[in-house]
Structure 1
Amino acid sequence: MIHAVNEWMNNRFHPSATVRKEVQLMIRYIREHYKEDVQVAKLVQLHPSYAGQMFKQEVGENFSDYLNRVRMEKASELLERTTMKIYEVSGTVGISDYRYFCKLFKRHTGFTPTQYKNKQV
């Protein structure tokens, strides 16, 4: 089931050819720089509110929701494939607040990070 969820999430992250080139660039940048404080409006030289509006129109979700989804996908992979502590995974995916990370992870996966990690054993 977890692999099916990851596959579904991966399909949502890869932009189709019909998506505007600015949004494709934003998506690529997010996937490569999800650990950082991502500000893609500067990257595509658009006003932040316009970039956000365009992103939502093309992708179907807010920029911050998409960024968090990418981060949770990466966190899931790290929890599955490494022996990292949960707080280490949190920092690695760009979320410094451990409690916020746990809340966000549960919202996206339906499991706490500990439950998710234990299911991988």
Structure 2
Amino acid sequence: MSEQDPPQSPEKTPLPDLQQSVLDPETLSQLFSDLSELTEVLEVIPKAAAQGYVPECGTLTLEEGRALLLSGRVRGLQIRYQYQGSQWWDTLLPDAQSGGFRIVRIQHDFA
């Protein structure tokens, strides 16, 4: 950005693209394997409710988060990780209709 360019206001900053899909149990297992082997996992955050997270519970490992999600002891799980120079946030929620898990993925490029 040059000195002549006006700063971007928050309302003009484009929102990151969202990707959504439903994963079957086998694909969910492959996702956890890929996250473990191919990314740098930054945070694993359990979700207690649709609009909130579990109160501060310390740092969870990927496997601890997976166990909580599969056991139904949390409503969902958000996994934040670095991959190919970007930060990604995957939110996983059980999908009662399909018996799988809904994934919402967003890429954050923090400047």
Same fold (TM over 0.5): no
Of structures 1 and 2, the one scoring higher in RCO (CA 8 A, sep 6+) is 2
TM-score, normalised by the number of residues in structure 1: 0.27
Higher share in helix: 1
Higher share in strand: 2
Query: Which of these two proteins has the greater Rg computed from alpha carbons?
Result: 2
